[in-house]
With several copies, the nearest count.
Chain A
Amino acid sequence: MQRRLSPDDAAFQQRMRTYFTTEFPADLRERWSAGGEPDPEVIRAAQRRLHEDGLAVPHWPAEYGGQDWTMLQRHIYLQEMQAASVPPPLAFNANMVGPVIAAFGSQEQKDRFLPPTASLDIWWCQGFSEPDAGSDLASLRTTAVKDGDEWVVNGQKTWTTLGQHADWIFALVRTDPDAPKKQMGISFLLIEMSSPGVTVRPIQLIDGGHEVNEVFFDNVRVPADQLVGEENKGWDYAKFLLGNERVGVAPVGSIKRRLAEAKEWAGTVSTDDGTLLDDPLLAARIAELECQVLALELTVLRVAANSREGKPDPASSILKLRGSQLQQDVLELVVDIAGPAGLRWDDTSWEGLAAPTYLNFRKASIYGGSNEVQRQVISSGILGLRG
């Protein structure tokens, strides 16, 4: 056991810190740090720049922009990126469809899709959830029927985050309705959003933003070479995509940054006796959150070192579960610090953003596998409790 970073890792950390805080464009960081609804232009510009500098998809194969980093280095990279408010590479590209194509796609698919996916010249969105499926993802109903060299897709997806900006969607579709289990008979299809028959309807969330969408498919024709891997094996790829990561599952760097900001903000709110940061109850709550974030970060570091890369991994459920809880707790703290000033919403001040941001991140324990699903994965996958 060793508490300190090795000299190599310390140098790596310094290199990342220097890059993110001095080389990466400050205006993009500022626009991201301001919060509110994500600006697609900021995301695009940031990922292009990261890709130019070799930092968009470090966990990919080297030939498509990856870096041969250790898990610890990947954590340091994320930590420094989030600490500096650098817009992260789009998860749908960098952490979802990219790794799936890299692992299961044909050589043609890799060559065609991975470069623009890394650079965000293709903006991907995810077509997994459906209105009547929810946590029971496998009961999806969107169908794809083979017709010559094409698949004909019909159905509806929902909760498609940032789908209104997307160029392509990766979707789970039912290709064999007669399969003996509902998890079988599903395929993983890449669909261009501009295809005739694709319609997008943004859904407003309770914070007023429109980050999720419904996507409708009405006889959409998709070339057969856009099916990834084997027909009817899509469920395996989806499980790979949802559970193969330990690093980056919990947004530790973002949580820490927000908690540090919360301290600063508390110091600016005056009370009858000083500032909110002098209030013993509020200060103790901040101290407690710092303890809990520390525990989470250390757990990320500890389990990352034993990562079983490439396989669905129940340990990532611990990080997802606890990461979403702590993110929500810190955002709730900010609402309390804002106090009466937070009763008015706006897009520009931290007080005005406090409540809508808190409300928006109630999604964190629902999307991407709800906390209930994560507990289920832990109890059955780790503890062996099978009901």
Chain B
Amino acid sequence: MDFSIDSEQKALRDAVRELASRHAPQHGQGDAPVGPATHDADTWSALAEVGALGLPYPEDAGGFGASAVEVAVVASELGRAGVLTAYAESLVAGSLLAQAGHELLGDLTEGSALVVPALAEPGRAWSLASSSVQAEDSTLTGRKGPVPYADAASHVIVPATEDGALALYLVESPTVENGHVVLDSTKATRLLDASATAGALAQAVNLGTVALCAEALGTMDAATTMTVEYLKTRKQFGVPLMTFQTLTQRAADMYVSLELARSTVQFAAMAIADNPEDSATVSRTKVVTGQSGRHIGQEAIQLHGGIGMTAEYAVGHLTTRLTAIERTYGDTRQHLAALAAGLSDHGQVDVLA
């Protein structure tokens, strides 16, 4: 058990930090983009250039043979700078391509293909267990969405029902309407059959979830830092806000939430590097990150007051992103329910193994 990062990981962190600061959204007087991001090809190319897109895949599959630990380093820096990208989506897709041994992975890691998974469905809660898309004769019919970054994607990966079980398909140049992928006897390539799909999806989404949690960690870190800075500099009633103990005690609680999330996210990255199927650790991390993110996101705005609500100031955008992350790849309630179903599998949660 070792939480320290090595010199290569430090170099990666520094490179991505520099990259992220260059591509960070510019706020200031006037309107700014709000809400879900659109794909930015420049940022994406820059990520490809530093090798961030291929980190966790084996070298023989077209990746760089690093692990989820490096992925978390990258995602945290993106989160800290408020840079919104399809990083988590690309990781889910990449993991699936790698598990299928598909050659598209090379294009993905180079950034020339943007591949995203199409997992959500209209009118349905988050679930990996079923899909209303039907597969027949290498064609798919049905509707998936909303699919983040579908508009910009060169390919999507779609779980589809085939003979009553789930299989995974790759669709090139998908038809997208209002963020939804529309499939109407659409030609598709089968990536994985029913025997491999559930396990592959679980592993891929574990990786994507850890990336999201790491992004959330960076986002929380930035929100906490900005809030502390604001309390130090902003004056009210003639004195700095940090004179008000009721505010500083709440900042202390934010910091505690942040540090708990930090430990858990770093551990989760190590855990799935060690065992990609460790969904229980991923669920616990999603719960801790979700709760810390909600706490920090809400308090960051509240302690800033009105300025925190504005698109001209960064902190509200961080809360926006934390809000979205908590509802991506299963929300806190769903991960708790999954963990509750497995309570009897263990006495204590073992960390030191």
Contact B324 A286 (CB under 8 A): no
* Residues of B contacting A272 in the complex (Cβ-Cβ under 8 angstroms): 127, 129-130
CA distance A286 to B306 in the complex (A): 29
Contact A299 B311 (CB under 8 A): no
A341 interface residue per 8 A CB criterion: yes
Contact B1 A9 (CB under 8 A): yes
Contact A263 B146 (CB under 8 A): no
> Can you pick out 27 interface pairs between chain A and chain B where the beta carbons lie within 8 Å of each other?
A1-B4, A3-B1, A3-B274, A79-B352, A135-B305, A158-B306, A204-B31, A206-B319, A256-B348, A271-B127, A281-B336, A287-B340, A288-B336, A295-B261, A295-B263, A305-B2, A322-B256, A322-B260, A335-B323, A340-B120, A345-B36, A356-B35, A359-B323, A365-B302, A366-B306, A378-B255, A387-B245
Residue in B36, B148, B351 whose CB lies within 8 Å of A301:
B351
Contact B348 A257 (CB under 8 A): yes
CA distance A360 to B311 in the complex (A): 11
A371 interface residue per 8 A CB criterion: yes
CA distance A378 to B341 in the complex (A): 37
Contact A382 B255 (CB under 8 A): yes
Interface size band for A? 35 or more
Q: How far is the CB of B12 from chain A (nearest CB, A)?
A: 12
Q: A residues near B, CB below 8 A?
A: 1-5, 9, 13, 72, 75-76, 79, 83, 129, 132-136, 139, 158-159, 203-208, 212, 256-257, 259-260, 263-264, 267-272, 276-277, 279-288, 290-299, 301-303, 305, 318, 321-322, 335-336, 338-346, 355-356, 358-359, 362-363, 365-367, 370-372, 374-376, 378-380, 382-387
Taking A299-B263, A385-B228 as contacts, is the C-beta distance between A2 and B270 under 8 angstroms? yes
Contact A302 B3 (CB under 8 A): yes
B328 interface residue per 8 A CB criterion: yes
CA distance A343 to B340 in the complex (A): 26
* Residues of B contacting A365 in the complex (Cβ-Cβ under 8 angstroms): 302
From DSSP, what is the main secondary structure of chain B's interface residues? helix
Contact A290 B125 (CB under 8 A): no
Residue in A139, A283, A344, A367 whose CB lies within 8 Å of B146:
A344
* Residues of A contacting B306 in the complex (Cβ-Cβ under 8 angstroms): 129, 134, 158-159, 212, 363, 366-367
* Residues of B contacting A264 in the complex (Cβ-Cβ under 8 angstroms): 347
B11 interface residue per 8 A CB criterion: no
B231 interface residue per 8 A CB criterion: yes
* Stretch in contact with the other chain, from B13-21, B161-169, B200-208, B236-244: B236-244
Task: Kindly list 8 other residue pairs between chains A and B, CB separation below 8 angstroms, not including A9-B352, A158-B306, A301-B263.
Answer: A5-B353, A136-B237, A204-B311, A263-B344, A269-B123, A321-B256, A371-B302, A376-B245
Contact A372 B246 (CB under 8 A): yes
Contact B242 A358 (CB under 8 A): no
* Residues of A contacting B5 in the complex (Cβ-Cβ under 8 angstroms): 1
Contact B120 A1 (CB under 8 A): no
CA distance A259 to B232 in the complex (A): 39
Residue in A260, A294, A371, A372 whose CB lies within 8 Å of B284:
A294
Interface size on B, residues (CB 8 A): 99
CA distance A286 to B346 in the complex (A): 12
Contact A385 B248 (CB under 8 A): yes
B173 interface residue per 8 A CB criterion: no
* Residues of A contacting B172 in the complex (Cβ-Cβ under 8 angstroms): none
- Looking across the interface, which residue of chain A has its beta carbon closest to that of B324? A343
Contact B34 A206 (CB under 8 A): yes
- Looking across the interface, which residue of chain A has its beta carbon closest to that of B239? A387
* Residues of B contacting A139 in the complex (Cβ-Cβ under 8 angstroms): 236-238
Q: How far is the CB of B178 from chain A (nearest CB, A)?
A: 8
Residue in B35, B124, B267 whose CB lies within 8 Å of A355:
B35
* Residues of A contacting B244 in the complex (Cβ-Cβ under 8 angstroms): 387
- Looking across the interface, which residue of chain B has its beta carbon closest to that of A370? B305
Q: How far is the CB of B267 from chain A (nearest CB, A)?
A: 5
Q: How far is the CB of A47 from chain B (nearest CB, A)?
A: 24
Taking A2-B1, A3-B274 as contacts, is the C-beta distance between A286 and B236 under 8 angstroms? no
Taking A336-B333, A344-B179 as contacts, is the C-beta distance between A208 and B267 under 8 angstroms? no
Residue in A336, A356, A379 whose CB lies within 8 Å of B251:
A379
- Looking across the interface, which residue of chain B has its beta carbon closest to that of A256? B348
* Residues of B contacting A1 in the complex (Cβ-Cβ under 8 angstroms): 2-5, 9, 69, 266, 269-270, 273
